[in-house]
C-alpha cells in the first residue's frame, strides 16, 4: 500500500477526531498546551492501536462488533456532547466543568473516534497488508489533526465566548448521528 493511499486513509480516519477536537478546544478553559497534547496523544494512540487490534482480531471479532459499533460510538459521543451542552447553559459562577481531556471523557472520546480504525485494520488483514506502517501514519496524522482542531476550537472560543461549548456539544452529537446514518445507508 503506497504512502499516498495510507495518508489519504489516515486523513479520512482523522476527520472525526479533528471535529471532536474543535468542540473540546472551544469548551476547554485552559488555554495551555497540556490539554491539547493530552487529547492529541490519546486520539493518536487509539488511532494507532485500533488498526493493529483489528488486524489481529480477524473476521470473528470484527463481525460481532460491526453489528453494534456505530451504536457504541453514537452513545459515547451523545453522552459527552450532551454534557458539554448542559455545561454551556450553566451560569458563569457555577463554572466547575469537567476537563474533557482527562479521565473517563478522554477514554470515551478516544474509543468513539477510533472505532472505524478497527475495521480498517481488519480490512488490512483480509488484503494481507502489513499493518505497522499504516498504523504509525494513521496515529501521527490523527495526532496532528487533533492539535489543529483544538487550536482552531480555542480561536472560536475567543471570538464567540462560552456559547461555543454548546456548539461543541452539538458537533459531537452530530458526529454520532452521522456515524449512525453512515451505517444505515
Where are the chain's structural domains?
3-184
Helices (H), 2-68: 3-27, 33-66
98-128 tens-digit pLDDT: 677 888 889 988 998 888 888 788 878 877 7
Cell numbers found for residue 61: 471479532
Nearest CA-CA partner of 45 in 119, 98, 111, 108: 111
Give the chain's end-to-end CA distance (angstroms, integer): 28
pLDDT digits (tens, 9 = 90+) for 23-75: 888 777 666 889 999 999 999 999 999 999 988 886 566 566 667 777 877 88
DSSP state of 175: H
Asked if residue 157 lies in contact with residue 25, where contact means CB atoms within 8 angstroms, the answer is yes
* Rounded mean pLDDT, 177-181: 83
| pLDDT-derived band at 94, boundaries 50, 70, 90 | very low
For residue 62, the model assigns a pLDDT of: 58
Angle of the 164-184 helix axis to the 132-160 helix axis, nearest 10: 140
Amino acid at each position: 500500500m503506497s504512502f499516498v493511499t495510507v495518508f489519504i486513509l489516515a486523513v479520512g480516519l482523522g476527520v472525526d477526531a479533528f471535529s471532536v477536537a474543535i468542540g473540546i478546544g472551544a469548551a476547554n478553559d485552559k488555554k495551555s498546551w497540556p490539554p491539547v497534547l493530552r487529547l492529541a496523544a490519546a486520539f493518536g494512540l487509539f488511532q494507532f492501536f485500533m488498526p493493529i487490534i483489528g488486524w489481529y482480531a480477524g473476521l470473528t471479532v470484527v463481525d460481532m462488533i460491526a453489528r453494534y459499533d456505530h451504536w457504541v460510538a453514537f452513545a459515547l459521543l451523545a453522552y459527552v456532547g450532551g454534557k458539554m451542552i448542559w455545561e454551556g447553559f450553566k451560569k458563569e459562577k457555577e463554572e466547575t466543568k469537567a476537563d474533557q481531556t482527562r479521565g473517563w471523557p478522554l477514554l470515551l472520546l478516544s474509543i468513539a473516534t477510533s472505532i472505524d480504525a478497527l475495521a480498517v485494520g481488519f480490512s488490512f488483514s483480509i488484503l494481507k497488508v502489513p499493518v505497522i506502517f499504516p498504523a504509525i501514519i494513521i496515529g501521527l496524522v490523527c495526532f496532528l489533526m487533533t492539535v489543529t482542531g483544538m487550536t482552531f476550537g480555542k480561536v472560536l472560543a475567543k471570538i464567540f465566548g462560552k456559547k461555543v461549548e454548546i456548539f461543541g456539544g452539538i458537533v459531537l452529537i452530530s458526529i454520532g448521528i452521522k456515524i449512525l446514518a453512515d451505517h444505515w445507508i
